[in-house]
Chains A and B, each alone.
Chain A
Amino acid sequence: MEYEAVIGLEVHVQVKADSKIFARCGAGFGHGPNELADPVVLGLPGALPVMNKKALDGIIKAGLALGCTIPDVSKWDRKNYFYPDSPNNYQITQYDQPICDGGEVEIELPGASRNIMGEHRKVKLTRIHLENDVGKLTHFSSDSLVDYNRAGTSLMEIVSEPDMHSGEEAFAFLTSIRQIMVYCGISDCDMEKGQMRADANISVRPKGQKALGERIELKNLNSITGVKNGIEYEIRRQTSELKKGRTITQATWRWDAELGVTEEMRKKENAHDYRYFPDPDLMPVRVDDEWRNRLRAEIPELPYEKQRRYFEEFDLPYTITSVIVPDRELAEYFEEAANLAPKKAQAIGNLVVNDLLREVSEVGIALSESKIRPPHILSLVEVVEKGTITKNIAKEVFVEMFKSGETAEEVIERKGLKPDFDDSQVKTWCEEAIAENPKPVESFKAGNDKALNSLKGQVMKKSRGKANPQLVDGIIRDLLA
């Protein structure tokens, strides 16, 4: 029998803000233990929560970017449970009236190879709600230590429908969410800093069966690759259990990235009784069109929309868009140059993807610190197109430009890279090359076009790499015609 997996993801994303969601103290990563606490975070008697407007703006913007409905009214509920990471003994969250309903996330699946774009599809969302993050526990041999720095951080929970079927789709889903959140400036989604976390619900059923199988909740998926690997492992495990005639029991499992296996954490027999009820300390949120429209206007062109436009407007290949588009800053940089000369967009894209990114990463600086600005890129594209310098020399020029911040012309002038000979000299070199190399000449005349390359190589050598290859090609062909 054939089986298929059904996967739903719960993605937690911290909303970037200076202060916490209900407390006035600072929020962030990398501080000393309990430096970001105050009476509200610690749940001290009499402390009252007050909403942070920026957290609301963040989630509404996220919802609008993901096509959610933003209901007029949403409210806050208490989810009651005892755990040391939550000093109030309840989490403020949203139970039945979340800020965002529905929605969908466009994902891009891997293509047949890295150079080929894979299928695009939309994964349905159930909802997105806002809640306060919990503290962090560190376990030791005989006790555990609690740091409340993370507690009270604004946290969105993006809940998907059971609408994915493979680890690859889950990977693409998280990648897309992360790109959109970063594009919109809602979150940096750094999983190493806990700014984005994911749990997966995974079940397997015989292909064709409508009803879902018993599901396993998989936790501890600490990276996007971890999500993919953990889910793939769990699908294989459940499928093999079912094939052996065993049943799956609803439970929570964890992914062990080091061992590359999943293991059971706890059974679901005692379903938690969270006793949700409306939080009496917080007033509901009312959203009107003016608010929705203001945030909608702040949403930039999203990555996949941008990719489609780059295909159309600039005729860029996927090999370039797939590198440029995921990084908004890089895309804006490219576009600034491409808009100066839309017809040269491909050559500009190539320089950005190959030379610029290489130099930036080698030197280890941010793109914004690069001395080469978009007009510089265009200056280099133009001198290559005019045939002033060859592509090979252009690479050298680029490195110089990157160091000094000069334009291509300035570098060429300073380093004397301009050809110090005229076209008739090139013709002489071509004639010499033909006279000195009878074998390739013969071979070319016999119909082997590739033989021309060795002649061209000789001419390039004579010109110390400065001759324009197209010119050389044309002259040799004329001479041998």
Chain B
Amino acid sequence: MDTMPKWADIVLIPLINLLIAFFLSGLVIWAIGKDPFEAIRTMVAGAFGSTDGVGYTLYYTTNFIFTGLAVAVASRAALFNIGGEGQVMLGGLGLTLLLLTVDFPHWAIALPVAVITSAAFGAGWAFVPAYLAAKRGSHIVVTTIMFNFIAFSLLGYMLVSSWIKKPGGVPESLDFAETVHLPNFHDILAPLGIEFSKHAPANISFFIAVACCVLFFVVMWHTQLGTAIRQFGKSEGAAIYAGVSPVKITIIAMMISGGLAGLMAVNATMGEAERLILGFSEGAGFIGIAVALMGRNHPFGIFLAAVLFGFLYQGGSELSLWMGIPRELVIVIQALVILLTGALDNMVRMPVERLFLHFRKGAN
């Protein structure tokens, strides 16, 4: 018997976790002599108070949806893909090679090809650890971490010593052509008569991310492939009994995961920077783990968690800009949220469960 109604598990507990995290963060801010209420006002205003802020928040949100979904697909198959970071980088590399070699007349033609290419590169990068795990039994956590380092070095080499490098001292690629500039929210909303900041980086990729959430849901719960992935994730023995091939499912789940991570490059590299920058992933591959954890590996939860982390990223940078709160402290706040919602989940869960049991008994 389930001890708690579903809504408590999905909404109430993350909310309580979040409040505790904010409370602790408030204490930290208060301890360094700043006003915590002022800080939260600054964060909210910075993230949601202007179309500029919203544009940045949604840009980060888009990144985190991709990496969060990536982690979730693997988790549903009981695989821990910690290599999102590397898969994002490879997605960016593939995208850059594509956009620097092929002349696209219009972004609308470039976008589908770019989506396929970055997903393919991300998936390809995930394939190697997946193959090694499925066929040779190597530990997927270890191999995917290693592949992050390899990806970083590969990107470094490409951006320092190869033909895609931009002349000059910065490790960046050549700029993409003006024709493949993706419409940002300003471009999209202007025809509708809605004013939106010209400079905010949120772009059409956001809708691709939302579509991926929907697709994730449909595939995972309404197709044979998704069902097989979940069967394998919940019970390898039962999956084998059912005729699901562990090798196949491990490889497919990891490649979907890598592909989703690779898609982040469409947002960050093609949509925002319009060139490949070393370290463009900004740790989003790792944030994806927290997002998936908080979102309970469910696309709707992941969407909400991605918005939250988008808010923390954008609001956090405002905090250091306007209140003189050091950047490191912003990371502390983010870490507290991850700690409370992820690692210490049971701390809140158990007392809440007991509370529900208590009330149930009272009702009988």
A interacts with B = no
